[in-house]
Structure 1
Amino acid sequence: MRVLKSLFRFFIILMFVGLILGAIAAIGLYQHFAPTLPDVETLRDIKLQTPLKVLSADGKLIAEFGEKKRIPITYDKIPERFVQALQSAEDSRFFEHYGIDPLGLSRAAFELVSTGKIQSGGSTITMQVAKNFFLTRERTFERKFSEILLALKIEQFLSKEEIFELYVNKIYLGHRSYGIQSASNVYYGKNIDELALPQLAMIAGLPKAPSAFNPITNPDRAIERRNWILGRMHSLSFITKEELDAALLAPVTAAYHSTEIELYAPYIAEMVRGELYDQYGEELYTDGFSVYTTLDSKMQTAANLAVRDGLIDYVKRHGYQGAEKQHAIQGLSAMEVTSLLQSESTFAQLEPAIIISVAEKSAIAQRKNGELITLPWEGLSWAKAFKTVNYYGAMPKKASDVVKEGDLVRILDTGEFWELSQIPQVQGALIAMTPQTGAIRSLVGGFSFTHNKFNRAIQAHRQPGSNIKPFIYAAAMENGFTPASIINDAPIVLQDKGLDGNWRPENSSREFSGPTRLRVGLYKSRNLVSIRLLRSLGFEKGIEYLSRFGFDPDRLPANLSLALGSADVTPLELVTGYAALANGGYKITPYFIERINDQYGETIFATKTPVVCPDCSTNNDNTEQNIAQRIMDKRTNFLLYSIMQDVIRRGTGTRAKVLKRSDLAGKTGTTNEQKDAWFTGFNSKLVTTSWVGFDQPAPLGRSEFGGTAALPIWIDFMRAALADTPESPLPTPDGIVQIRIDANTGMRASPNQSNTIFEYFKAEETPRRGVPERGQGSGKSTEEIF
């Protein structure tokens, strides 16, 4: 008995000494590791790596930039069933322990002693937060001890809900998805709060091993893991037996769901990325910004279609240039033919296809997905052989005149039938803008961003041709000319130091009309009238006036060729200049970023550009108004608008009459040898420019002008953009009067005189009876202006 007492006392002393030594060791380890531990309070301000999102003004996703797919979610938005599922899978006593689970750690310690290696780790959710945010993934004792200490500290500074939220937003769950909200979108195409119990359990099983338990790549193991979690949920009384049985029978419904781009606007997306990268650098792709652009999704969709269809129509006018490639397909299986198409991309809905067989009036083609489609004669008969931009071959009489077996071609679904098509070599651009603010509502920089990323809307410096003339005429009307002023449309030989040798400008028709009223000179786009106006003003004054509208004076030629549009401008510069014509004469600044939200939805930037406010005082000190500067007399602006309406009513833009709107005004533009074709037009609510040309300037063809190449694109866009919107003409300002004049001379008409029209004037510039405006004219006219 005495021996037993002695042994018992010895073991008690040994245990006591062990406890003391263990405490000393723990204190020593704490003293060793504590100074190296990071500050856990930084978790409150942690920035999760979240991709950049670019959206339209109405919230349609345009683009997403960043390697990691993550959509942060707050704890209150997480379904309770998912919280329970994750507890069942990872840490059943999460809401009860203080950061570590003694039972789990004891099990891990036993494994370490018995095997010499750490097997399960015994980690709680809090410990995993410590590891994921602060530590490496190496399996060492030192890292494990640091993890434990950090978990204890985290529990002191954060609530359980905050810890849980950090964990579910940080974890990697396969297929580039980080966090449960992103995983829910990737695997099920839904938000986490829309998932059923079996789906929630499936996602809860992923953190342990995203590859091994992946429901897409490894469905058998995934369903085994899911069912184990469901069983745990039942054993922990989170779900009933009935719920368990129903969930166990549920099939695997996971499938890969890529980020769905809702609006195709890649040129604007790249403009946003480039603009913000200069400010934020690489953090742009990880800080979770949501950038709301100024784009209207309806208008952008219309712009995409208008440019695509306009350029395809150009191809069809000039002929088919043949197959892109020729493949020997005789004896190949359908799968082998399909493999020939896999490296070919689709551009602007023009799909690659291979001709399988050719009949008398049709052809069979195989699509990239293996489907066989018929190209009927309606889809082939347009394809006369291209020779040059001015010549093409005879119209085909049978399908074999156009295609042959093995041809790699482009096909387009017209909605009624499949049509043979071709990737245009010609390019185009379109920009639409709200003239009162400068907000870009739609922008297309070329036929296909995938095919060619050069953004012609903002990067291509091209000659505007007659699109520049309205500014020359406006300058004239601000310097004594009126719409009734007579200018001689007659041949002229000019000797200009800025031009090589003698210059003999002509009208595009190579005809001359003699004395011509200023109004007629603009709507009929008479070159000699523009030149004489600029010569009267002086090109220095012309350059100064154009500079007011945002045109770069260094790109404006200091000679009379400026009157015919020999400047270098971008479509963006041109539409910005025209915005002042559309808004009553105010200078605006174009912009395409409306606001930027951080990953928590808070607005961190909002654009404040000058806006048109005719009733606001520009002299007060309220800088918040940010009022646009007037750069053009409002009466001159109205007179010019009235004349440019006639461009559509009876001038070079009469095709636009198809829109059946009286509020539209605009101007065509065509450069020498038809290298550039333009149309820019507007009402008081929307201004739009369209351009067509080759990237390396070359003739479009002798029948291609602003009114034939660019105007149809503008019409198609404006038809959709202005659908169901009321007419919005520019208002008539005070100080404008209407006088009956002689249509030939511009003089005020006498009582009972025939051959007269009504014309607008500034009140102080009305013509006197019998006195011609700036020269005399003769001849007869039956023109009716109004």
Structure 2
Amino acid sequence: MPPFRRLLRWALIASAGLALLAAIGLGTLYFVLSSRLPDVESLRELEMQEPLYVYAADGRLMAVFGETRRYPVAIEDVPERLRQAFIAIEDARFYEHGGVDYKGVARAIWLLATTDDKRVPGGSTITQQVARQFYLSSEYSYQRKLAEMLLAMKMERALSKDEILALYLNKSFFGNRAYGVAAAAEYYYGKKLDELDLDEMASLAGIPKFPSSGNPISNPERARIRRDYILDRMAELGFVSAAEAAAAKAVPMHASPHEPPVKVSAPYVAEMVRQEMIARYGPEAVTRGYQVTTTILPDLQAAAEKAVRDGLHLYDHRHGWHGVERRAEVAADADDATLAKALSGTSPQGPLLPAIVAATTPDGGARVVLADGSSVALPASAARWTGKNPAALLKRGDVVRIRPGEKEGQYLLDQVPRGQASLVSLDANNGALRALVGGYSFAGNKFNRATQARRQPGSSFKPFLYAASFEKGFNPASIVLDAPVVFRDRRGNTWQPQNDDGEFRGPMRLREALVQSRNLVSVRLLDAIGVDFARTYISQFGFEEAELPPNLSMSLGTASLTPLSVARGYAVFANGGSRVDVWYIDEIRDRAGQVLFKESPAVACRGCGVVPGSGGTQVASQVVDGFNFGAPAPATPPPAQATGEAGQQAAMPAPPPVDGKVAPRAIDERTAYQLVSMMRDVVQRGTGTAAKVLGREDVGGKTGSTNDHRDAWFSGFGGPFATTVWVGRDDFQSLGYREYGGKAALPIWIEYMRVALEGQPLAPNEPPPGMVQVYVDNSGRMSTVGGGLVEYVKVEDLDRMRNSLDLLGPEQSDEEAFDIF
């Protein structure tokens, strides 16, 4: 055999051997890799991460929580041209290949062989990109590339082309926390997919290649070049005409950040919802697309936010200018852009925008620069509330706050209030949270003072104590002495409480004592009924007994309570004596819209429970008008109906509801009636008279202040709402001289309730069964005939007074009659 033929034969044998070995190697590699590939059928059931959505009661968006913005869409909801834009740039033969584009692979291999590049374009189909996104890492290796190709072919056999394209469009990262084309359209253009223009579609299609460094916001010029290339490719492939492509290329780049369209500002409530959802469903609650509908009423929430901010500004302005926020060291020749950098990290708070002073002007004004580099001129009148002009208060480099004025383009100098406030408003009949503000600005401080701050309620606690005394036989006409009193403990220490005004007014009816907020009367009441009994009784309003001080100081409101718990307690008065639970999540749905949870609250019911005098449990009354009569006498059964005459039973209430859950009774309905009547008087002629401006007879409540004016409160009710406002400082410093509840908190309450009560019918307060009308004369004595002030007392209380005391008998000395301690 000639040498050449021998050489050729051995060459063929060697080639066949190498080919066999290569085939064996590739087969082995295929077997190893294919055994490790995941089951692509699982993609049909895949749940992509979606944020947690929180809505107000009317369906308007309140908040979106989650690290990713994603709104999965079905392929039929993606406009055809938007699909074509992605196909044009990513995989022109997408609908032709079986998962791997061999022409693209050959082109990539050729580039690898003829260039020095380690990574070359081409070779990855849309299907391969989906495989890499869901199952594989971004590691660059031949083994990973082969696994990607094998997985892509498996996906093509298991899924349709449209299913694969939908996965790609929903999974791809578009920068700025936007995942999926729908989230990208909203973020960059504030539009839904069917609202996009052709130039915007092409811009979006160009982002996934360089999501961080080449998106239309971070690098608009690079994004424009890529957009124009995509438009040319679309025209080349026949997806659009050349004229359409040219027109779209002529549109300037105009992307800008668009956050989700939050329409209701309730950040403190939204955070409460987020924490509650995590408590119920774990950390994944913010990634599974839950949709939570709350009980918040948007109009009331907006009114609450505005009332709190306006009220705090009003308070803060009373105490004058407290200086610039800080000073920034800036060069003398620094331009506006350089000045603006000094505001980095200083966020807006409510309507207050951070600004840095660039210069003062000879006319008393100033020029300031905002965080975006824009310049604002402050006129000399911009700081009128300080008594000075901006030029007298500011100098270059000062960081201050400005807010929009009433006129367009006008800005005023202002400051972040030192005081803080919270507002809680409940539907008194079922406990639904209708509005909540936890502070001046959530951006400035996320501490929720409505639910987390424990502060002393001061005199706004007194209605709870009065209710406890009425359970022991006192009533609004009972007379107690407003006079000095000294208590000594076992160690010889003395406590001598005082009234706010330092004065004493002698014998007083309890109605007047509450209207005038007399501290010494409250102390004597608590001493009369006993601290232990009072703590147990008051806990029925929803407080923890451990929260209530085990001593006489409790009578002055020294318990540390949250505004939310105080509002819940006042709801008991407003709804006729039922204890309702506070709730703010009405409904929870999953990403498919299926209802996972629906609240069914217990509702207050007037007339439900034991009717006094009907053989049920009697009240433990032993003290009447300050006199201890021992065991109570049997009560007279109430008449069947009222006659309207003095001394007769009040009208029977409507029958209780037959459906739904009934809230448990906290206090006697008759006690609730008496306290509501007294607190309406607080508004009509007491410490809350400013609320008369609302022009409603159903408005009632109680002011509260603590030592050194550290806390100012107003809690009350009107229409269906029970609302509490607290004002104070986080550092527990004084609010300032004479900053009582009626001055610091009540104006906020009024401005909120003005909106909340609009269109609401008047809440009735009719005497319930088991009460008798009596008259109180000028000396404070009661009778069932004659004239004088009208009061309603419980039937059993009147019977015991008749059996134990001549109501119209001779007067006793003040010392014998009133100084009961």
TM tier relative to shorter chain: 0.7 to 0.9
1:464 alignment partner in structure 2: 457
Compared CA separation, residues 156 and 638, structure 1 to 2 (3 A):
farther
- Is this contact kept in 2: 1:486–1:776, CA < 8 A? no
2:789 alignment partner in structure 1: 757
1:38 alignment partner in structure 2: 38
SS in 2 for 1:152: helix
Compared CA separation, residues 281 and 471, structure 1 to 2 (3 A):
same
1:556 alignment partner in structure 2: 548
Query: What is the CA-CA distance between 1:400 and the residue it aligns to?
Result: 6.7
- Is this contact kept in 1: 2:607–2:669, CA < 8 A? no
Compared CA separation, residues 703 and 219, structure 1 to 2 (3 A):
closer
Query: What is the CA-CA distance between 1:168 and the residue it aligns to?
Result: 0.7
1:410 aligns with 2:413: no
1:374 aligns with 2:406: no
2:420 alignment partner in structure 1: 427
1:99 alignment partner in structure 2: 99
1:307 aligns with 2:319: no
Letter of the aligned partner of 1:700 in structure 2? L
Paired residues, what number? 754
Superposition map of 1:228-377 within 5 A:
228-240=229-241, 243-278=244-279, 282-325=283-326, 331-332=332-333, 334-335=335-336, 337-342=339-344, 344-354=346-356, 362-368=364-370, 369-377=373-381
User: In structure 2, what is the Cα distance between the partners aligned to 1:124 and 1:774?
Assistant: 103
User: In structure 2, what is the Cα distance between the partners aligned to 1:245 and 1:412?
Assistant: 44
User: In structure 2, what is the Cα distance between the partners aligned to 1:516 and 1:263?
Assistant: 48
1:141 alignment partner in structure 2: 142
Higher mean alpha-carbon deviation, 397-406 vs 562-571, is at 397-406
Query: What is the CA-CA distance between 1:690 and the residue it aligns to?
Result: 0.9
1:492 alignment partner in structure 2: 485
- Is this contact kept in 2: 1:171–1:179, CA < 8 A? yes
User: In structure 1, what is the Cα distance between the partners aligned to 2:696 and 2:723?
Assistant: 15
- Is this contact kept in 2: 1:598–1:604, CA < 8 A? yes
Higher mean alpha-carbon deviation, 298-307 vs 10-19, is at 10-19
Identify which of 511, 518, 530 aligns with 1:519: 511
1:449 aligns with 2:449: no
1:154 alignment partner in structure 2: 155
User: In structure 2, what is the Cα distance between the partners aligned to 1:570 and 1:277?
Assistant: 23
1:510 aligns with 2:502: yes
- Is this contact kept in 1: 2:89–2:206, CA < 8 A? yes
SS in 2 for 1:372: strand
Residue by residue, what CA displacement relative to the aligned partner does 1:305-328 show, whole Å, maximum 9, x if unpaired? 222222222222223333344578
Compared CA separation, residues 154 and 129, structure 1 to 2 (3 A):
same
2:623 alignment partner in structure 1: none
Letter of the aligned partner of 1:652 in structure 2? T
1:195 alignment partner in structure 2: 196
SS in 1 for 2:586: strand
2:682 alignment partner in structure 1: 647
Compared CA separation, residues 241 and 410, structure 1 to 2 (3 A):
closer
Q: Which runs of 5+ in 1 are unaligned?
A: 1-8, 384-395, 780-786
Query: What is the CA-CA distance between 1:649 and the residue it aligns to?
Result: 0.8
Compared CA separation, residues 11 and 290, structure 1 to 2 (3 A):
farther
User: In structure 2, what is the Cα distance between the partners aligned to 1:399 and 1:104?
Assistant: 68
Superposition map of 1:346-745 within 5 A:
346-354=348-356, 362-368=364-370, 369-377=373-381, 379-383=382-386, 396=387, 407-416=398-407, 418-496=411-489, 501-613=493-605, 625-730=660-765, 732-745=767-780
- Is this contact kept in 2: 1:744–1:778, CA < 8 A? no
1:390 alignment partner in structure 2: none
1:783 alignment partner in structure 2: none
User: In structure 2, what is the Cα distance between the partners aligned to 1:196 and 1:399?
Assistant: 47
Query: What is the CA-CA distance between 1:103 and the residue it aligns to?
Result: 3.5
User: In structure 1, what is the Cα distance between the partners aligned to 2:766 and 2:673?
Assistant: 8
Compared CA separation, residues 746 and 675, structure 1 to 2 (3 A):
farther
1:52 aligns with 2:87: no
Superposition map of 1:98-177 within 5 A:
98-111=98-111, 119-177=120-178
Compared CA separation, residues 184 and 708, structure 1 to 2 (3 A):
same
Letter of the aligned partner of 1:373 in structure 2? A
User: In structure 2, what is the Cα distance between the partners aligned to 1:773 and 1:423?
Assistant: 61
Query: What is the CA-CA distance between 1:330 and the residue it aligns to?
Result: 9.7
Query: What is the CA-CA distance between 1:686 and the residue it aligns to?
Result: 1.3
Query: What is the CA-CA distance between 1:434 and the residue it aligns to?
Result: 1.9
Compared CA separation, residues 104 and 408, structure 1 to 2 (3 A):
closer
User: In structure 1, what is the Cα distance between the partners aligned to 2:157 and 2:808?
Assistant: 89
- Is this contact kept in 1: 2:459–2:556, CA < 8 A? yes
- Is this contact kept in 2: 1:684–1:730, CA < 8 A? no
Q: Which runs of 5+ in 2 are unaligned?
A: 1-8, 611-656, 815-821
Query: What is the CA-CA distance between 1:680 and the residue it aligns to?
Result: 0.4
Letter of the aligned partner of 1:84 in structure 2? Q
SS in 2 for 1:515: strand
2:638 alignment partner in structure 1: none
SS in 2 for 1:643: helix
Residue by residue, what CA displacement relative to the aligned partner does 1:493-512 show, whole Å, maximum 9, x if unpaired? 23355x97222222222223
Query: What is the CA-CA distance between 1:483 and the residue it aligns to?
Result: 2.1
Letter of the aligned partner of 1:650 in structure 2? R
Compared CA separation, residues 775 and 634, structure 1 to 2 (3 A):
farther
Query: What is the CA-CA distance between 1:542 and the residue it aligns to?
Result: 0.4
Query: What is the CA-CA distance between 1:19 and the residue it aligns to?
Result: 9.6
Higher mean alpha-carbon deviation, 163-172 vs 579-588, is at 579-588
1:71 alignment partner in structure 2: 71
User: In structure 1, what is the Cα distance between the partners aligned to 2:294 and 2:812?
Assistant: 53
- Is this contact kept in 1: 2:575–2:606, CA < 8 A? no
Compared CA separation, residues 405 and 86, structure 1 to 2 (3 A):
closer
Letter of the aligned partner of 2:420 in structure 1? Q
User: In structure 1, what is the Cα distance between the partners aligned to 2:675 and 2:486?
Assistant: 28
SS in 2 for 1:178: coil
User: In structure 2, what is the Cα distance between the partners aligned to 1:624 and 1:613?
Assistant: 11
Compared CA separation, residues 71 and 746, structure 1 to 2 (3 A):
farther
- Is this contact kept in 2: 1:517–1:746, CA < 8 A? no
Letter of the aligned partner of 1:166 in structure 2? L
Query: What is the CA-CA distance between 1:18 and the residue it aligns to?
Result: 10
Query: What is the CA-CA distance between 1:561 and the residue it aligns to?
Result: 1.7
2:625 alignment partner in structure 1: none
Query: What is the CA-CA distance between 1:679 and the residue it aligns to?
Result: 0.4
Letter of the aligned partner of 1:39 in structure 2? D
User: In structure 2, what is the Cα distance between the partners aligned to 1:82 and 1:749?
Assistant: 85
- Is this contact kept in 2: 1:678–1:690, CA < 8 A? yes
- Is this contact kept in 2: 1:433–1:441, CA < 8 A? yes
1:5 alignment partner in structure 2: none
Query: What is the CA-CA distance between 1:667 and the residue it aligns to?
Result: 0.7
Query: What is the CA-CA distance between 1:36 and the residue it aligns to?
Result: 0.9
Compared CA separation, residues 334 and 118, structure 1 to 2 (3 A):
closer
Letter of the aligned partner of 1:589 in structure 2? D
Letter of the aligned partner of 2:481 in structure 1? N
RMSD of aligned alpha carbons? 3.8
User: In structure 1, what is the Cα distance between the partners aligned to 2:165 and 2:227?
Assistant: 20
- Is this contact kept in 2: 1:664–1:729, CA < 8 A? no
1:88 aligns with 2:120: no
Query: What is the CA-CA distance between 1:704 and the residue it aligns to?
Result: 1.5
